[in-house]
A and B are shown apart, each in its own frame.
Chain A
Amino acid sequence: AQSVTQLGSHVSVSEGALVLLRCNYSSSVPPYLFWYVQYPNQGLQLLLKYTSAATLVKGINGFEAEFKKSETSFHLTKPSAHMSDAAEYFCAVSVTGGGNKLTFGTGTQLKVEL
């Protein structure tokens, strides 16, 4: 079965600083990987996805993630944090033949400080 691990349940950065949210996956078959964002009292919004094309994936709001098979990682980055980025971020995995059933990580709460 596939799984994801998100290191750091809470991350705090200064406005303008680099955002790095970590995600490692486990899968016995090639995975599809996703990052979702959840703003307070809202649903899950798809930020970006890796589906075996380019390993560097660009998403909305200036976020990007790089798939590194050797490290089984799919970390989310943004060069310069903005106050509006404060939210909870979830990494998720699905696999070929597994439908679009998503297995989520525990989430990382991003706080952006002035």
Chain B
Amino acid sequence: EPEVTQTPSHQVTQMGQEVILRCVPISNHLYFYWYRQILGQKVEFLVSFYNNEISEKSEIFDDQFSVERPDGSNFTLKIRSTKLEDSAMYFCASSERDTGTGAFFGQGTRLTVV
């Protein structure tokens, strides 16, 4: 069964460092997303991406964040200068259509900023 894959599964980084979280969405999906889940809190939407541009972003997704689809298979989330409060589980997701289908999620990357 097709799945969304994320690497790495865990990442520890020092405050102020840049991190790149990587995702390979399901191959025939066209819509891509990043969500995050801070420990003990709800899953929150960060950004959606379609046709090589951001289609929607949340208030959380400030200038420190960026997304990119550098090739035909990868989808990345970059955090330029990490803060302690960026520590969370980051989920990549993809969907075939832009509405009503839900999304398929990866296993997540646990980011710890120290």
Q: Range of interface residues on chain B?
A: 20 to 34
- B102 lies within 8 A of A102 (CB): yes
Name the one of B100, B101, B105 contacting A44, with C-beta atoms under 8 angstroms: B105
A residues in contact with B102, CB < 8 Å:
32, 34, 36, 46, 49, 92, 94, 100, 102
A51 adjacent to chain B (CB < 8 Å) = yes
Give A92 to B36 CA distance when docked, in angstroms: 14
Q: Is B68 an interface position by the 8 A CB rule? A: no
Residues of B within 8 A of A105 (CB): 42
Assess whether B45 is interfacial by the CB under 8 Å rule.
yes
CB neighbours (8 Å) of B65 from chain A are: none
Tally inter-chain residue pairs, CB-CB below 8 A: 75
Interface centre among B43, B45, B48 (most CB of A within 10 A): B43
A interface residue count range (under 10 / 10 to 19 / 20 to 34 / 35 or more)? 20 to 34
By a CB distance below 8 angstroms, the chain B residues around A36 are: 102, 105
Q: A100-B98, A104-B43 are in contact. Are A43 and B48 (CB under 8 A)?
A: no
A86 to B64, CA, bound (A): 37
Distance from B28 Cβ to chain A, minimum over Cβ atoms (Å): 15
Q: Tell me if A74 is interfacial: C-beta within 8 Å of chain B.
A: no
**B residues whose Cβ falls under 8 Å from a Cβ of A:** 4, 6, 31, 33, 35, 41-45, 48, 55-56, 91, 93, 95, 97-108
**Across the A-B interface, the 6 shortest Cβ-Cβ residue pairs:** A44-B105, A43-B107, A104-B43, A43-B105, A100-B95, A51-B100
| CB pairs A–B below 8 angstroms (26 shown) | A32-B102, A43-B4, A43-B91, A44-B91, A44-B105, A46-B102, A46-B104, A49-B102, A51-B101, A90-B43, A96-B99, A99-B31, A99-B55, A99-B56, A100-B33, A100-B95, A100-B97, A100-B101, A101-B45, A101-B48, A102-B45, A102-B102, A104-B43, A104-B44, A105-B42, A106-B41
